[in-house]
Structure 1
Amino acid sequence: MIRIFRHYIPKPLLYLGIIECLLLLAAVWAGMTIRFTQIGMYDFKITDYVAEISAFVVTVYVVMLATGMYQLEACRDFRVSLLRLVVSMFIALLTISVILYMVPDIALWRSVVLYALSFSGLGLLVIRYIFLHVVDMQQFKKNVLVLGAGERASRVRNSGLGHGSHVRFANFLKMADQETDVAEAARYETVGSLKDYVTENHVQEIVVAIQERRGTLPLDDLLDCRMAGCAVTDSTSFIEQQSGTVNLDSVNPSWMIFSDGFGGGNSADLFIKRLFDVSASLLLLILTLPVLILTALLVKATSHGPVFYRQERVGLGGKTFAVMKFRSMTVDAEADGVPQWAKKNDARVTTVGRVIRTTRIDEIPQIFNVLKGDMSFVGPRPERPFFVEQLGEKIPYYHERHRVKPGITGWAQLNYPYGASEEDSRKKLEYDLYYIKNYSVFLDFLILIQTVRVVLWPDGVR
């Protein structure tokens, strides 16, 4: 893992992204060379077209991010890569066409764009095939030694054994008089010198996963390893890096106090976030006005009741506000007055409501909440006070999610299917805490871009 702007990115994906970015540069250069040669411009200088080349590369690359080309499923299945690549090239063509229409000063001819996209598509196919079928991914995996064999060690193992994992476990070492949940663990005393063991087995990181550390933690041995260049990490931080979550089963107040992050962002970050929220809200209101009008007419024409649905939610600092959405359920959805979780294939959802939920169109009116300042585009999803009170009593650190503004989209929405239970809320909180801990403008950008993937390939919409 490489940490960029406080967000963990797997090395293979970073290398893949750099290679594909270079390919896009080569593709647009080749497209320009062919077209200019065809019309007799043999003496053109590539340096005169920096803006045009940059516009092409950035647009195509952002579209690839948005369509999920760097998600796990696309990086391990060539068919998924192929499908998303075709979609990416089509969306990129439309996007570049709009940019060229709106900014005519960019001298990127349509013929050059077609050449460049053709070369890009073919080149990306070759790179993805090599990446999936030729490159030995084991060489990118970090060799990890785990101190401990109990429940925490088991959670560490589970976080590092999933598809797309970027670690390889050298061993698990059971300390004296410690519980054993990892059957293959060896006893610590049998390895001799920890430093020698680390050197001989090319261990790059030691994860301390001992439940009770007092009197059992080999501090001198760990110090020797650390001074020799081997990283030493606690189990909670390791799971955070691997899964993009703050694991509630192992986290404690001292870890949250002493670990980096949880600052809520500096003044510059918060200013940029608010500036983006206001600017993007105004722009989206203009762009989606036809969709808003059409949806309002359909909701009104197909079911009895108001077009918009206002509901009390808990926001920043625990203060409540009225969230605004297109009504997607019948007006008597909660006739008994008791709040209910949404269900799969919920009978309360109208025909039009099911469509606008699947496409996320029902969320568009929340732009008014963003303009008002109650919400942001990115943040934890706001919950109803009834559920917040219940979940706050049962789930540790639940109220910490109210340290930041709630959002229309967020880290939890990208990584966890739609949840409608206490266990789902617990898992989503782990993602929310990761976002709060590692907040940056860069992470917001990644979440916004990848939200397009959720719209294109919905998962768990109810």
Structure 2
Amino acid sequence: MIRGNEKFIIKIFNCCDFIAIQIAFLCTWWLKFMAFNVGDRGHISFEIYLFWSIVYGIFSVFVSYFMTLYSSQSRRLSFLKEFSTIFKVHFVSIVCLQSFLFVFRVIDFSRSFLFLYFINIILVVTLYRFLLKLTLKYFRARGYNKRFILIIGAGELAIKYYHQVRNHPQIGLEVIGFLDDFKQEHEKDHRGMTEIIGKINDLSLILEERIVDEVVVALPLHAYEKYEYIVQICEKNGVRLFIIPGLHTIFPARPHVEMLGDIPLVTIRDIPLDELRNSILKRLFDILFSIFAIVGTFPLMAIIAVIIKLTSRGPLIFKQERIGKNRRPFMMYKFRSMKQQTSEASNTEWTTKDDPRKTKFGAFLRKTSLDELPQFFNVLKGDMSIVGPRPERPYFVEQFKEQIPKYMVKHHVRPGITGWAQVNGLRGDTSISKRIIYDIFYIENWTFVFDLKIIIKTFINGLISKNAY
């Protein structure tokens, strides 16, 4: 159930989005036709441009509803995900606006104006929503715009959820109490928490007497027979219901539900890149980025190639087998940075800080990550991606999959030249277990914007790392 204040906030977002779009329109008009006078608006007046901006604003609000940009659960989402939705909404809207202009034969409408208009909308809407989100977090942390929660169960799982709510006051959730059939009060270690206010059979009475926005079920598996009653009561009272699965300790990620006929199937890991549109978008970006990178760094690669040939014997490019997507092996390319060695040594020995196998120039290449430039050809071939978990040699993969839980999950996506673990300092001789945590987070939370963030952080942090050797 969404109370009046939630509906009011959604209406505020509707109005603010529309106003932000018109502000973006005025900025675009001023920049395009007045400030720099860089374009001819043809036979179209300001009023006609404004009319289509109003049409766009109304249409984009409807699109925002369909893409759940106004969901009451958005308070739980990160701003990165919200930005991703904002971009999708206005990309769809601007394409539809162009279609409208074509259908109604508004042929003199400036195409450069549309492009600048789209950019300004993204900037203005994102900025105001970011500021509004900060403002809402500020007031929620101080007790305003609360959503009241009733927790069913008072065991370890329920207590863990309670502390998560308390640790994130900016979300604006408040627990009004617990219901449990076997406890009347919390154990000594948990005294001071919100009280146990009744048994599960009291749910109907409590929902009628008190304001409850959400019911969260945190019961063990053996209480399964209680679920049907809880669902019926919550639906009867129009209260939103959430269930923390009793198998949550087994589920290593957000579960994803698929349907086979009328039978729901729960997969334990939702991977955004399994969706065709996401995989196509990422692959197109990889191809374009790698082409630009190869062309842009070709003179540098030529210089590196000459120096390698002049300073040491052996092949220019070092090829080594790595394990990629779906556990398929591939040959990864690098500029050779070590003296010639046996394949057994290169495939089974870990590189150390003062490794005697490195050449002097090779040590520089590894420290600056310039030895990895040929991997853009791996990206172009489709063996790798610009962003993703770093690939490992088969010898170490066999070891790590036995020693480190969930290690093999990283092979659900293409390996990358850079990754979320690497931009957080986990390169070289660092914890493999921590790397996997970051890799899995990336796999489960992938967005195109997330990839851009990692690429930007790669350049901001610099390619030189104390752990790269």
Residue of 403, 425, 438 corresponding to 1:428: 438
Q: TM-score, normalised by structure 2?
A: 0.57
Is 1:220 the equivalent of 2:225?
A: no
- The 3 A distance-change label for structure 1 pair 219 and 145 is same
Gaps (5+ residues) in structure 1? Answer: 1-10, 55-68, 73-104, 238-246, 436-442
Letter of the 2:367 partner, please give it.
R
- The 3 A distance-change label for structure 1 pair 327 and 395 is same
Residue in 1 aligned with 2:333? 324
Letter of the 1:207 partner, please give it.
V
- Paired residues of 1:414 and 1:454 also in contact (CA < 8 A): no
SS of 1:374's partner is coil
> Aligned-pair distance for 1:261?
4.4
SS of 1:173's partner is strand
Is 1:366 the equivalent of 2:379?
A: no
SS of 1:30's partner is helix
Letter of the 2:218 partner, please give it.
A
Between the aligned residues of both structures, percent identity stands at 24
SS of 2:380's partner is helix
> Aligned-pair distance for 1:386?
3.5
Distance 1:120 1:319 in 2: 40
Residue of 171, 175, 178 corresponding to 1:166: 171
Size of the aligned set, in residue pairs, is 372
> Aligned-pair distance for 1:136?
4.0
SS of 1:193's partner is helix
Residue in 1 aligned with 2:457? 454
Correspondence 1:245-284 to 2 at 5 A: 249-251=249-251, 257-259=265-267, 261=270, 265=274, 270-271=279-280, 273-284=282-293
- Paired residues of 2:387 and 2:454 also in contact (CA < 8 A): no
Letter of the 1:454 partner, please give it.
K
Distance 2:230 2:455 in 1: 48
Residue in 2 aligned with 1:390? 399
Residue in 2 aligned with 1:32? 32
SS of 2:31's partner is helix
> Aligned-pair distance for 1:26?
3.8
- Paired residues of 2:426 and 2:435 also in contact (CA < 8 A): no
- The 3 A distance-change label for structure 1 pair 261 and 424 is closer
Distance 2:126 2:18 in 1: 12
Distance 1:42 1:176 in 2: 75
Residue in 2 aligned with 1:353? 366
Q: In the TM superposition, what whole-angstrom CA distance separates every residue of 1:40-75 from its partner, at most 9, and x where no partner exists? A: 999863567999xx9xxxxxxxxxxxxxx9569xxx
- The 3 A distance-change label for structure 1 pair 312 and 187 is farther
Structure ID, larger Rg = 2
Distance 1:301 1:196 in 2: 84
Gaps (5+ residues) in structure 2? Answer: 1-9, 57-77, 82-109, 257-264, 356-361
- Paired residues of 1:23 and 1:123 also in contact (CA < 8 A): no
> Aligned-pair distance for 1:313?
2.0
- The 3 A distance-change label for structure 1 pair 187 and 159 is closer
Residue in 1 aligned with 2:385? 376
Distance 1:382 1:451 in 2: 17
SS of 2:391's partner is coil
> Aligned-pair distance for 1:154?
5.2
SS of 2:241's partner is strand
- Paired residues of 1:370 and 1:376 also in contact (CA < 8 A): yes
Q: TM-score, normalised by structure 1?
A: 0.57
Q: In the TM superposition, what whole-angstrom CA distance separates every residue of 1:331-355 from its partner, at most 9, and x where no partner exists? A: 89x979754488xxx5669455333
- Paired residues of 2:272 and 2:278 also in contact (CA < 8 A): no
SS of 1:389's partner is helix
SS of 1:313's partner is strand
Is 1:209 the equivalent of 2:212?
A: no
> Aligned-pair distance for 1:213?
4.0
> Aligned-pair distance for 1:424?
0.9
Residue in 2 aligned with 1:61? none
Distance 1:317 1:229 in 2: 44
> Aligned-pair distance for 1:220?
0.7
Distance 1:459 1:157 in 2: 41
SS of 1:232's partner is strand
Q: In the TM superposition, what whole-angstrom CA distance separates every residue of 1:172-194 from its partner, at most 9, and x where no partner exists? A: 63644589786525336268733
- The 3 A distance-change label for structure 1 pair 304 and 231 is farther
Distance 1:278 1:124 in 2: 28
Which one scores higher on RCO, CA 8 angstroms, separation ≥ 6?
1
> Aligned-pair distance for 1:320?
1.6
- The 3 A distance-change label for structure 1 pair 284 and 172 is farther
- Paired residues of 2:378 and 2:384 also in contact (CA < 8 A): yes
RMSD: 5.6
- The 3 A distance-change label for structure 1 pair 131 and 294 is farther
Correspondence 1:294-309 to 2 at 5 A: 308-309=317-318
Q: In the TM superposition, what whole-angstrom CA distance separates every residue of 1:186-229 from its partner, at most 9, and x where no partner exists? A: 33626873345456665443333334343574531233214533
Residue of 401, 418, 421 corresponding to 2:426: 418
SS of 1:382's partner is coil
Distance 2:315 2:145 in 1: 55
Distance 1:300 1:21 in 2: 58
